[in-house]
Amino acid sequence: MFSVAKMTLAPLTSKANRLVWRALLFIVGSTLVSLFAPSVGSAHGGLDFPATRSYVCRFLDIDSEMCAQAWAENPQALYDWMEINIGNAGGVHQPRIPDGELCSAGRSKYGALNTPGDWPVTTLEPNAQGAYDMSFIPHAPHATEYFRFYLTREGFDPETESLAWEDLELVHDSGPISYDRMASEGNDFGFEMDLPERPGRHILYLVWQRSDSLEAFYGCSDIQFSSFADQNPSFIETPQVSAPSDSSESDSMDMPSMPMPMPMPMPEDGVSDLHVSLTSSSDWGAGYCADGTVTNHSHSEVVWETQLQISGEMVSSWDSEISQIQNLTGSTSTYTVRGAAWNQTLPPHGSANFGFCVNRSTDSSEIAMVVPSPEPPSDGASNPPPEAPSSPDSSPSDPNSTPAETSPTETSPPTETANTTPPPATNPTESPVQETGSPNPQGSVSSNDSKPILAAYYPEWGIYGRDYFIADIPGDELTHVIYAFVDLSASGQITLFDPWAATDRVFTGDQSVSGATAATSGNFGQITELKALYPHLRFSIAVGGWTLSTHFSSVLSTPEGRETASDAVIDFLRQYEMFDGVDFDWEYPGGGGLASNGSSPNDGTHYALFLAEVRTKIDALGEERGRVYEISVASPGGYDKIANFNLPGLTPSVDFYNVMTYDFHGTWENTTGHQAAFQADANGYDIRTSIDLYLEAGVPASKIVLGSPIYTRAWAGVADGGNGGYGQPSSNAAPGSFFDQPGMYDYKDLANQWLEGAGDWELYWDDQAGAAYLYSANLGIFSSFESPGTVAFKSEWAQHMGLRGIMFWDLSSDTRNPSERLTRAAARSWFGGLEFDEIVAESNFSFDRIVGGNQTFDPFVESPTEPSDITHSPVSPPETGPCVSLDSSSEESSQVATNRGKARRLNRIKQHRRGRKPPVDCPASLP
């Protein structure tokens, strides 16, 4: 039970009465419970006066009938109250949003906000000049084309009528507003406008159109004018606020029924935008350890601090400075928790992690955490290294500079408006994907290292702002899905990051694999249903990631730690039988990940010893259960991190490596570059160099899965420079698809914009580097890019190199359009028998400009000898070439020519290996 002071609310009659909230967390009994949902939705801004329906239900009147319905229908929609958007609106609103769906912007996630009914109402009073003040929270400021306010017609009844475009009258247009103004005014940002007073209830409808991207945001506020308030006897006054009682015995607040914990807001005098979440990482009865994340949701840097009231004794802590400030009862003490030197200052929207262990007292085990108002950093405060968002939205990323960018997430926040795709076809025999062995009673398959692997990561937080569910996974295009992520705790246990998403949430018919309200709970239950539909499909659980690699080094540094962690992996697979293997994503042994991660020169040795233990135990589990479990490793693409990875030590224990051959360049650099170039990078950050290093380290080609991104790296403030912005200086990161991940766009977002002709995007192919990119002169944005054609090129090259397959990060970023879906392009190459140019012909993408090389998009043709328009300094080739024979008379190439129909490609690929030494130790067969 949660016991809090009972609260009511102030009448919403003036901007001055806006409430700001402090996070108050209660962790009761032996379980630590976060009262805040994961911060995965995009949050850019919204009206708090007059409050939008989503703001009212999120903060002000959760007990009202309409808000209770909204919470019951989709709690995450209210956690993401600022994120009602269309990513590619571009000023076109009415054709994109159907009548009756204006309050949700046509998005099913927010559908409850469209329901006519008795929504809480804000009373508007004119100011001294007779105008009306509006207050807007710009959670993520943007350069703005306009804010347009619409008022419903006289006689409209929001209690009984659905809102349609014809019901609205434009009453105010702000015109352009600069980023600087919005950022500098912060929570004081707002509007003053004249409004035509009308009797009755009305809806004030807001459209916020950005000018720095095509994205637009929407909101419905229920209002009445003060001069007509007495004429509305049905109006239910917003409850009056009384100060919270000091008594701990006050009544508990009645909460609407919902499947996840709700935030308990507490008002205070100062502004606090710090949110804290806690999860239990281990519990041994007499005590426990906890991991915490603190997130700064304000627009300014803050030095964070929080306090814990603990029934017990604090015995250890990490990534923070903790001191006892008060002993309350002899068994309960208050501790102050401050950030450590490297994470005490949080940038706007930044996060920091910390943890602690407690020996319980005998009489109580309650913990209360209070987040005080943040202080601005002192003049001497140093900028901390970039922190990953609060969700473990770290893809298997491989940034090659310091500081490294956070990986694509969630984190956070969709820009695609399409509804969830229907469940896939029910006949798995129609799938082009081959089974990788004989099904056993558990639906698993036997390992077979001659069959290709088409793998993709599924982000756990996809069910929130991204509206991407297990049911949306194209099971007929993949052999492996890797579920990201679970955590390796400080005590060596494998813990769920978001238990509600993993095992508790009940999915409705339009979200579930079966098409009916799910009989099984959580993503894990949905995995079971999807595997029944696609028996060939294997699921692995990913441990770690960019955000959750904190404890690998310390845990694996001792024999005891390795034994505990390897046992925990086996225990997890025993408990969750839907998984067929484990994917380890330690970023990175020897350092190079988050600054807060532990590291040691011996990490590579310890990693190899750990994987050897897991191999022994996982094989024994497979023998016991009559199934084959796989071990994969998400491994770096950059040579600097490969050097510490101990490939010779790891390889005997690993079934395959998911090589992160992307993030070679990104906005941690101030010059544009290719994030996943095929070759010819001046510093060796390209695919050919990376794969050569694996082969030289003795990794068999059949254990290498080539990585491909389904997201981009994008810079802003970029001039054309004659080559569409390539190699040009940049002033800052592009806005990106999500406010908390600048410099990154989902593939689907930019793909849709180019295909729809929105803006002035031009698609380039750099034939010298083997890389595609997009450039907008109007926006001054350069972005890396992948297309079905580039995926087909990489796939065909990988097959003839003898590599095992291709991997994608991550599924939620791909388009739902089959002809342009990147996973489908890979499947058509690896299993469909199509050649590179045939896949290119199926796609609607074509390059607007081609620079360098032979001036054509045919990567298998030798480039001319004359200088390229884009200059590169290729890294010197290795001493010997990789192990693959390309002689058309060989047994291997004859097999490929017969089985795959690609004989006419062999000579081109042979030419494409220009400048490389002859191959050695060629494999006996190719896939």
DSSP 390-432: SS----S----SSSPPPPS--SS-----PPPPPPPPS-GGG-S
Nearest to 410 by CA among 182, 161, 686, 80: 80
Contact 656, 453 (CB under 8 A): yes
Token pair belonging to 482: 């890797």
Cα(741)–Cα(121) distance, rounded to whole angstroms?
35
Say how far residue 109 (Cα) sits from the centre of its chain: 17
The CB-side HSE value for 85 (13 A sphere, CA atoms) comes to 32
Looking up tokens 């593939």 gives 747
Q: Which residue(s) pair with 207 in the sheet?
A: 148, 218
Strands 202-210 and 85-86: unpaired
Strands 714-716 and 781-785: antiparallel
E-only strand ranges, 710-801: 714-716, 732-733, 762-766, 771-776, 781-785
Could you tell me the CA-to-CA distances from 523 to 503, 504, 513 in Å, in that order?
A: 6, 8, 10
Q: Which residues form the catalytic set?
A: 587
Cα(669)–Cα(161) distance, rounded to whole angstroms?
53
Phi, psi of 196 (to 5 degrees): -75, 110
375-388 in b/e burial notation, b at 16+ Cβ within 10 A? Answer: eebeeeeeebebbb
Cα(444)–Cα(628) distance, rounded to whole angstroms?
7
Token pair belonging to 169: 């009258």
Q: Is 178 helix (H, G, I), strand (E, B) or coil?
A: coil
Say how far residue 624 (Cα) sits from the centre of its chain: 37
* Burial class of residue 486 in the structure, from the number of CB atoms within 10 Å of its CB (0-12 exposed, 13-18 middle, 19+ buried): buried
